[in-house]
Amino acid sequence: MSWRMRVVHTTGYVYDAPVTRSFNEARLTPRADSRQNVILNRVETVPSTRSYRYTDYWGTAVTAFDLHAPHIELEVTGSSVVETEPFAGPAEELSWEEIHDEQLVDRFDEMLSPTAYVPRDRKLDGVARQLAKGVPPAKAVIRAAEWVHENMEYISGTTSVHTSAVQAFAEHKGVCQDYAHLTLVLLRSMGIPSRYVSGYVHPNPAAEIGETVAGQSHAWIEAWTGAWWGYDPTNNIGINEQHVSVGVGRDYADVTPLKGVFSGGGSTDLEVLVEITRLA
């Protein structure tokens, strides 16, 4: 059954000295695709700014804005209404021979290559070989996500946004970002094109209509086994109507919700609030 949700994502910065100018990018606009229909979206700032939108290299909508007047606070709010569909499973299931075809490998080179967050690791290469043994690529994707879910413990504060998959795995602890990155390490080792997805997840599958709850930014993966499809290793479930996807890329660095540079100012206090309401 499809859902309709309102998502309000607010990020507030407080500087201990005036910032004279800043240049910023916000990735707060949900994707419009076969699983999602974006009914409404706006990105607003306080102080108000003049913004413009573009689609980045990976296909994520970006709202860019800059401030040229001194300010000690900045608030950025992304508001969206989105209709989502439940998990439909892999659209196509290619064989290993087809997945490893030279032309396909060249086509998806960027989604097969290691990154700072998703490095190659000899031990995890061995795990990937065992998980892929005797099953087709689509099943190997689920096996990899299940393995990560079983071998990691979700504990907030044990890692940071700068932690790589291998660093998180060394402690067997982390958050959704780490679960997604670790799954990508396994999938790319298998030769399965895979990408990082940022977004939101409603925490209650039996949510009452009209009730606003504290939501959370979330991360999961999409794999290509003939077409792109998603799986959530943190919750060990297929992507369903509770998930709202926003950005895709090689890893977290490509989909950071809000980033920028500023001059002046000093240390910064940061507060993030996500509210999700099921509307239908």
**What domains appear along the chain, each with residue ranges and CATH number?**
3-85+256-278 (2.60.40.2250), 96-254 (3.10.620.30)
How confident is the model over 6-34, as a mean pLDDT? 94
How confident is the model over 186-196, as a mean pLDDT? 98
pLDDT digits (tens, 9 = 90+) for 43-97: 999 999 999 999 999 999 999 999 999 999 999 999 999 999 987 777 678 999 9
In the prediction, which pLDDT does 248 show?
98
Strand-strand pairing, 268-278 and 228-232? unpaired
Answer yes or no: is pLDDT of 250 > 90.
Answer: yes
Q: pLDDT-based confidence at 264, cuts 50/70/90?
A: confident
How confident is the model over 192-220, as a mean pLDDT? 95
- How large a percentage of the chain has pLDDT more than 70? 99
Q: What is the C-alpha radius of gyration for the chain, rounded to an integer number of angstroms?
A: 19
Answer yes or no: is pLDDT of 178 > 90.
Answer: yes
How confident is the model over 127-138, as a mean pLDDT? 97
User: Over the chain, what is the mean pLDDT?
Assistant: 95
In the prediction, which pLDDT does 39 show?
98
How confident is the model over 116-136, as a mean pLDDT? 97
What number of CA atoms fall less than 13 Å from residue 154's CA on the CB side?
13
Instruction: Please tell me the total number of residues recorded for the chain in this structure.
Output: 280
- Cα separation, 237 vs 66, in Å, equals 39
In the prediction, which pLDDT does 91 show?
67
Q: pLDDT-based confidence at 267, cuts 50/70/90?
A: low
Answer yes or no: is pLDDT of 209 > 70.
Answer: yes
Please, which residues have CB within 8 angstroms of residue 204's CB and are 6 or more apart in sequence?
213
pTM for the complete prediction? Answer: 0.96
Which residue in 57, 42, 58 sits closest to 9, CA to CA? 42
Answer yes or no: is pLDDT of 232 > 90.
Answer: yes
User: What are the backbone angles phi and psi of residue 100, rounded to the nearest 5°?
Assistant: -90, 10
- Cα separation, 216 vs 68, in Å, equals 31
3-state SS, 108-124, equals CHHHCCCCCCCCCCHHH
